[in-house]
Amino acid sequence: MGSIRRYMQFVKPYRLQIIVTLIIGIIKFAIPLLIPLLIKYVIDDIIGNPDMSNAEQATTLLKIMGIMIFVFLIIRPPIEYYRQYFAQWVASKILYDIRDRLFTHIQKLSFKYYANTRAGEVISRIINDVEQTKTFVITGLMNLWLDIATIIIAVIIMLKMDITLTIVSLILFPFYGFSVKYFFGNLRKLTRARSQALAEVQGYLHERVQGMAVIKSFAIEDYEQTQFDKQNENFLTKAIDHTKWNAKAFAVVNTITDIAPLLVIGYSGYQVIQGNLSTGTMMAFIAYIDRLYNPLRRLVNSSTTLTQSIASMDRVFELIDEKYDIDDSPNAVECKNVKGDIDFVNMSFAYDEKEEPVLKDISLNVEKGETIALVGMSGGGKSSLVGLIPRFYDVTKGKIMLDGKDIRTFKVRSLRDKIGMVLQDNILFSESVKSNILLGKPDATNEEVIEAAKAANAHEFIMNLPNGYDTKVGERGVKLSGGQKQRVAIARIFLKNPPILILDEATSALDLESEHLIQEALEYLAKDRTTFIVAHRLSTITHANRIILIEHGEISEIGSHEELMKKQGNYYKLFQVQQLEN
């Protein structure tokens, strides 16, 4: 029950509202309990009263009905409204808090987590599983107690009318309790399996919707349909297993709750025949049995939905318990007044401790304002090296120093705030061009945004878009060309104005015209900043202060373009090959 205890932390701030809702609920459920008493009073004390004339019976009936209509028509509707309103309000607020906490949490999870987890599964937990936990608030914290209160009030009234008949009414309660315990123990496991299968369907769908262009270009719709059917069928199997067990539970429990009224009718009918019980009391008891076993039926439903809810809670807390690979140390400090000297000291790195290191024993001293180009064959470790500077991953051995301090002593977010990155495939969000540029500095003015766009050679093409800076770019920026997306990404960095710059294959996928415009913007951007350029095309980095050739995770050559060309080593060979290709 650890999940429930943890969930209660989210409930705690709203306990006063829950208590008020429960009080209103008890009044709401207690009012209908007057009806069996009304039946007994009308039959025994009005209709069956030989001392009253017909006129007196009619007048008394009219009075009592007037009171009842006032209670049900004037008092009960607002009580019903506020009970529903407060219950839903509290549940929605708790869900809001949980989703808020989860969004903060997923933003702190490392690249390693996202490399191993499908986005659709994460979304499924935050949307579907959190929504399922709403039942716990509405049912577990409110309706459950209201149903129990209804049963207790009904039993107290019944005991006052006839003790023996009350015992007959409750004789099947133990069987009911045993069957609920037996059936709903297994349901939590089945519900978790069903939720996981649904998350897998959602994860698969999310990927396929994003990659629809690939499916269409390879004309593999039929193959993808078959693959989706497998995922869908897995969910169907888990859903049917869950439904079967659920149906068995309801069959047994409802049989018990249906037999109970038969026992009461039989026993009370016999007592009336014997003259030991009035007809009104018998009718009231039959009405109370309905009032008694309806909440019991609801409790069975509650057991099902609560089990589903707790299984979803388990999945929500499973996500909350995901550890942060990169986290601030307890005495971490803000990263301020950065000059931009970076030292790699005997640094090695592996994505997994069990695997071979991707980078081995790298030592490199980079001075403020220097431009360093990293070159080499694909898979050599260039992107891994620049990914360690903003601590997307942490070094396995050695350390990286910024202005003489280990980068692990800084607060992660304040460190990343001092670094600007332009990647090969920059992700744009589906909002406007302006919103995407503002990611660099959310509180920037319009003038600053336009200035940044001009510096990135982007202003001209933005003004030619249908709505200028307010044009929506579509999911991942699909409405813009590769070169336009890059220039918007560069404008973001101009706006951010960081002391350290990382360009990871920033021009490799562009046409020549875009490349020229972007190269110009990047060189302007790199001025007076410590800059790391990961490049495939060597002609774009000849201006760098130093070029570093990385092969098999190690630095094999280092120097300026001219120095390396004179050396006639592997860099020289690579450059010659590329020149010939061009």
Dump pLDDT digits (tens) for 387-420: 888 888 888 888 988 888 888 888 888 888 888 8
Q: How would you classify the pairing of strands 554-559 and 342-349? A: unpaired
If DSSP codes are grouped into helix, strand and coil, which group holds residue 365?
strand
pLDDT of the residue at 38: 83
pLDDT of the residue at 234: 92
1 pLDDT tier (thresholds 50, 70, 90): low
Q: How many residues does the chain have?
A: 582
582 pLDDT tier (thresholds 50, 70, 90): low
**The pTM is what?**
0.72
Give the count of beta carbons closer than 10 Å to the beta carbon of residue 381.
Answer: 22
Q: Phi and psi dihedrals of 423, rounded to 5?
A: -105, 175
Q: What is the pLDDT of residues 414-460, one digit of tens each?
A: 888 888 887 777 778 878 889 888 888 888 888 888 888 888 888 88
If DSSP codes are grouped into helix, strand and coil, which group holds residue 165?
helix
Q: What is the pLDDT of residues 47-106, one digit of tens each?
A: 877 777 888 888 888 888 898 889 888 888 999 898 889 888 998 999 999 999 999 888
Q: Look up residue 39 and give its two tokens.
A: 């039946």
**CATH classification number, 1-162, choose in 1.20.1560.10, 1.10.579.10, 3.40.50.150, 3.40.50.10300:** 1.20.1560.10
Query: Which uninterrupted H or E stretch holds 344?
Result: strand 342-349
Q: What is the pLDDT of residues 151-163, one digit of tens each?
A: 888 888 888 888 8
Higher-confidence position of 342 and 203: 342
If DSSP codes are grouped into helix, strand and coil, which group holds residue 562?
helix
Q: How would you classify the pairing of strands 397-402 and 342-349? A: antiparallel
Say if CB 49 and CB 57 are below 8 A apart.
yes
pLDDT of the residue at 13: 92
Measured between alpha carbons, how far is 533 from 523 in angstroms, rounded to an integer? 11
Measured between alpha carbons, how far is 359 from 327 in angstroms, rounded to an integer? 22
Evaluate if residue 467 carries a pLDDT over 70. yes
Q: Look up residue 201 and give its two tokens.
A: 């369907």
- Residue 204 DSSP label: H
Measured between alpha carbons, how far is 568 from 147 in angstroms, rounded to an integer? 86
Measured between alpha carbons, how far is 189 from 182 in angstroms, rounded to an integer? 13
Q: What is the pLDDT of residues 248-268, one digit of tens each?
A: 877 887 787 778 788 888 888
Q: Look up residue 535 and give its two tokens.
A: 């490049």
If DSSP codes are grouped into helix, strand and coil, which group holds residue 133?
coil
Domain 342-581 of CATH type 3.40.50.300 = yes
525 pLDDT tier (thresholds 50, 70, 90): confident
Q: Look up residue 417 and give its two tokens.
A: 């705030």
Instruction: Sketch the domain layout of the chain as residue ranges.
Output: 1-162, 163-276, 342-581
- Which of 103-107, 117-121, 185-189 has the largest mean confidence? 103-107
Say if CB 460 and CB 520 are below 8 A apart.
no
Evaluate if residue 508 carries a pLDDT over 70. no
Residues 6+ apart with CB under 8 A from 424: 504, 505, 506, 508, 509
533 pLDDT tier (thresholds 50, 70, 90): confident
Q: Which residue has the tokens 């939905």?
A: 305
Higher-confidence position of 314 and 177: 314
pLDDT of the residue at 511: 55
Measured between alpha carbons, how far is 2 from 396 in angstroms, rounded to an integer? 35
